[in-house]
Structure 1
């Protein structure tokens, strides 16, 4: 599922009624979760953090900017933080299944709408920048709000979107795309801030001044300080002492965790600290973190221990928590600290107990139904394959297949997660069809719109089980692999994985067939019908082969 974060900064940190109004504008949009509101009276600025489905986040961002333009008058604004507009900055950040290029496109779409509908000059920055000098936000904001009247007269400052005029009330807004910023602190067993600062200077990208044997700063022929580059890119770090913790910390901002992940920084600091007789006692995450960063950390430590990485993602992340000492100072709750978990719907089907799901399934409500059950079967199949793989890892007599089963296990876990997501997507697609059918149909325009929405919703209700069918075939292929190389004591489980995947495939196909006749788009119908038929045939052939193989081996065991 595509997830995007947005962190708009508004030039109001004192009037709670204004802050609440902007928050309500965000909350009014479905499929967006307002994760945090952080006002500052001295800065007279509030940072909002929201996340959700990209289109919904885009709409929520616009509504928030619109509300800010109505309620904030920049001609009366004063605060410590640099600013140039009622909405000062509005960056989009990719969270999961999103590329930076997609976030850039959303930034441009928002900028165009803000410029055209609200009449606010918009400058694109960071990854969305159209000029290299505008990539850096501080260059755009130079002179702040007070410089905007002169910039409005300078052709070089023509905004990317909106009028090239001075908007006295709303100022100007910078809209962009950037990577997720992880605020991360490393805890030391010392009160000495200088020791923390020394380590911070070594790891941060900006580096530290070179010194001679007597500790004097070395300068070049031009009199400039000679700088020793830091060890990590996209890493900002300082040392400080926290009275409430009674210890020094290295406070770190990681601006691109995909290049410089927190666990790699931690391991290097552990090494550097040990050389100096300092002990790293743990670490602390400030705010939220993408799931990928935690999973990657957990897999890093599991691999280092020679253990399987094909575990449920929560178990992998628990390994990261323990290995990084993330719960040393305060409890680390995955549901609150991992952004995907924090914004997840609490009433989703996949979060129900088996008993509750079966009970709901048995009532007279049409959804959840066969489509969700098909996805659940695909998830169970992949889970069984992961189990057989994990029962084979590090087992005597299976030395020759270790590389293979170590690859199968995480692949099966990934299929399991995709299938679990489809449980809710199938029911959501059905509910969308019902919503479309309830649209008014009194006028010709209403009838035409209703038919269009029904067609769109029905297509989605077909595409979801088609995805389930694709996933089921992938699960079958993995079941085939593990049946041939996995632990013989779990061969029946591998066979069950194949049978369950075939059930998922056939059930998914039923859900395609029942909705396909309602589609008016003949090209779509033909394409889907051909794809589904080929997937099902391949699934049935492979399942039959696995069943014969497993049955023969069990009979001859």
Structure 2
């Protein structure tokens, strides 16, 4: 990614919390990342930090808060948001169609340019996991990606190991990497680091979850002919089925047989080239597979931004001193 005129050491955290139906609560969590509310510093803004976006999904009862900060500021911003979320969200009362295990379900930290390495993000991720379990007694965490040395196990594998995909995970059977065995109140939090991961959701016009699962299986990276970097679930959503994709950045250049159409966006981390499958390719593949089954593809949407968009909007927000950018982004991007 281009370093930009500001030369900032920027990193992003796409904080996933298990609440979306109380949007005021989610905004309170977002603001906790932005403002120091301890002691005499009540309401003082944290410099070099912005919240670019808040994505709420009512059916999933899950929100994604995009926090961007300098690498030396991200830890405290994310920890403060996590603390607030754990104080406000009780997993014993949670209901939603998206799998989850924790009040704070996922804390991924990504570099936004050459100035910061993935290992720097991994160091901050481990510090966040440790800090959360120390500050909020009863919380527990598992590590993934670069934050999980030496194996660097990916998020999908670690979630499988923890029972995240089960309808009712057995919390007492889980041995977390940090903290005690998970408690029902807080659940379990995944914390990690990697090159940027996008979220791309495609809705297909059917209620038949079996059709969705067959499409998800066909595009999943691990399947023959699947799309590199794509991890995917099929979930019921607003009277239809949503193909919900995590789109991981993959090292190297786009595969030749897939790069003939739209170019794959590319960037560099630590001097190494990375790229990611464009949302348009994912949407087209889902539409093709759905069409073979007599089903239409209704819509496709990114949850948040591509890595290049995230970097550019963060520089814009920070250069203009906009902390609560999610309130301003539509006006500024028009």
TM-score (ref. length: structure 2)? 0.61
CA RMSD of aligned residues (A): 4.3
Residue 341 in 1 paired to residue 333 in 2? no
Residue 234 in 1 paired to residue 257 in 2? no
**The residue matched to 2:110 in structure 1 has which SS?**
strand
Match of residue 70 from structure 2: 53
Q: Distance in 2 between matches of 1:139 and 1:335?
A: 29
Number of matched pairs: 247
- Shift in Å, 1:335: 12
For structure 2, the residue ranges without an aligned partner over 5 or more in a row are 1-7, 36-45, 202-215, 234-243, 274-304, 321-334
- Shift in Å, 1:51: 1.6
| Aligned mate of 2:108, from 91, 97, 106 | 91
**The residue matched to 2:109 in structure 1 has which SS?**
strand
For structure 1, the residue ranges without an aligned partner over 5 or more in a row are 152-156, 186-199, 208-228, 239-250, 271-281, 298-333, 350-557
Q: Is the contact between residue 116 and residue 161 of structure 1 (CA under 8 Å) also seen in structure 2?
A: no
Q: Any idea what the Cα deviations from partners look like across 1:111-157, whole Å, max 9, x if unmatched?
A: 11111111211111233225759853232243467521x22xxxxx4
Match of residue 70 from structure 1: 87
Q: Is the contact between residue 83 and residue 144 of structure 1 (CA under 8 Å) also seen in structure 2?
A: no
Alignment of 1:185-264 (within 5 A): 205-207=221-223, 229-230=224-225, 233-235=228-230, 254-261=247-254
Q: Distance in 2 between matches of 1:112 and 1:73?
A: 21
- Shift in Å, 1:237: 8.8
Q: Is the contact between residue 5 and residue 93 of structure 1 (CA under 8 Å) also seen in structure 2?
A: yes
Q: Distance in 2 between matches of 1:176 and 1:42?
A: 26
Match of residue 11 from structure 1: 18
Relative to its length, the structure with more strand (as a share) is 2
**The residue matched to 1:343 in structure 2 has which SS?**
helix
Match of residue 132 from structure 2: 114
Q: Distance in 1 between matches of 2:266 and 2:52?
A: 13
- Shift in Å, 1:179: 2.2
Q: Distance in 1 between matches of 2:228 and 2:169?
A: 34
Residue 42 in 1 paired to residue 65 in 2? no
**The residue matched to 1:8 in structure 2 has which SS?**
strand
Which structure has more relative contact order (CA 8 Å, sep 6+)? It is 2
- Shift in Å, 1:171: 1.6
Q: Is the contact between residue 125 and residue 136 of structure 1 (CA under 8 Å) also seen in structure 2?
A: yes
Alignment of 1:377-526 (within 5 A): none
Q: Distance in 1 between matches of 2:246 and 2:190?
A: 22
Residue 147 in 1 paired to residue 170 in 2? yes
Q: Distance in 2 between matches of 1:137 and 1:167?
A: 17
- Shift in Å, 1:292: 5.0
Match of residue 170 from structure 1: 186
Larger Rg: 1
Q: Any idea what the Cα deviations from partners look like across 1:69-99, whole Å, max 9, x if unmatched?
A: 1111111111111111110111111221222
Q: Distance in 1 between matches of 2:192 and 2:307?
A: 26
Match of residue 127 from structure 1: 146
Relative to its length, the structure with more helix (as a share) is 1
Q: Distance in 2 between matches of 1:51 and 1:23?
A: 11
| Aligned mate of 1:136, from 158, 162, 172 | 158
Q: Is the contact between residue 102 and residue 188 of structure 2 (CA under 8 Å) also seen in structure 1?
A: yes
- Shift in Å, 1:172: 1.7
Q: Is the contact between residue 66 and residue 118 of structure 1 (CA under 8 Å) also seen in structure 2?
A: yes
* Inter-CA distance 265–45: structure 2 relative to 1 (3 Å threshold): farther
